[in-house]
Structure 1
Amino acid sequence: MIDKIAPSIGQALAGTRDGATVMIGGFGTAGIPGELIDGLLAQGARDLTVVNNNAGNGDTGLAALLKAGRVRKIICSFPRQADSHVFDALYRDGRIELELVPQGNLAERIRAAGAGIGGFFTPTGYGTPLAQGKEVREIDGRMHVLEYPIHADLALIKAERGDRWGNLTYRKAARNFGPVMAMAARRTVATVHEIVELGALDPEAVVTPGIFVSQVVRIPRTRTQAGGFIKRAD
């Protein structure tokens, strides 16, 4: 019987090796798998390469992982924002490596890994420092840059509902990078707020099929108080 439900985040992340490449879903504050990032911090793996849209916010989540000195390199499209002080300090001190990738290229490089594509040409980045050292080619009168897929050892994603086979659905913008990251990693661990019986998920609504998911962990839904309103934490 296939049952991918893990009893705890700790068990789901056990065995994550030093030097692993880890993809972490999320866009801004939507769909960040905070519990899994905290679990990775507790698990202890070091010298990680992290693939994420940004480089952490404040002092929690990915920023906490960076602050603990666990990340050797980060591949992202938006490393600097108002509260990215942890990354800023590490980068200025030369204690972390950055590979800056335009957001569309980042998504497509991850998707290419999952689709088995060996590389692709894109006009994005041509004529900028991001294209230095890369093959370029003229296609239909426009110059393009060769980009390669990004593979990962582990993907950490946040979904809304799942079943014991690992089929997943997402909530609105929390979907973002999760589906392509699940396809691009050797192992995918997903958190969900609800585990349902097999057949309860409409097959047409399943975004990430269970074949791309290794383990699912149920986490409680939390609510935060902000500005007098109760806001759902996703």
Structure 2
Amino acid sequence: MKLHGFWRSTATWRVRIALAYKGLTYEYVAVDLLTGAGAQHSPEHRRLNPMAQVPVLEVEEGLYLTQSIAILEYLEERWPTPPLLPRDPLARARVRQLTEVINAGIQPLQNTGVQRHVESLGADARAWIHRFVGPGLAALEAMTRPLAGRFSVGDALSFADLTLVPQMAFARRFGVDVTGLPTLLRVEANCVELEFFKKSHADLQPDAPR
């Protein structure tokens, strides 16, 4: 497999964690989102993903998957052990609920393309991020609190944790106050001590600045 991504992309980061957790090997193909107009807009990348986004998982030659949660679902169905979704249907729905708070409710409002557009309008992209990421994480804290054990939903790792850790890193990078999120901070701390979270960290990727 080949993973086309960007070191700091929170969506790519989720997929890296899943691949590491499941012990899957892959080739990493860096896509520079920031230099010039961004390599994601190149004709070559648009052939892989017409949305001009990362990540893209090349499952085999000529077969590509886009959208990080769809990729996580594929990996879970193709390699179900070790699992990233609980067996109980209600617990599975709760995992997906928390995952989508970040994936659909927060991340689309903070991505690079949105930031650049906000700046092109003469507005403050950092203020924009604070406006949406802070309240989004506060809502996630309230939704996670009654469900959490060691991790976001009980004591088993899940999609919800794979989306949480990169999102918290993004929030800190832009100075979003996370001190009032005790449940999320506790879950994050339990995650980041695990080896596959450590090796998936953005700063350790081949295309990260040295």
TM-score, length-scaled by structure 1: 0.26
TM-score, length-scaled by structure 2: 0.28
For CA contacts below 8 A with separation 6 or more, give which structure has more relative contact order: 2
Higher strand share: 1
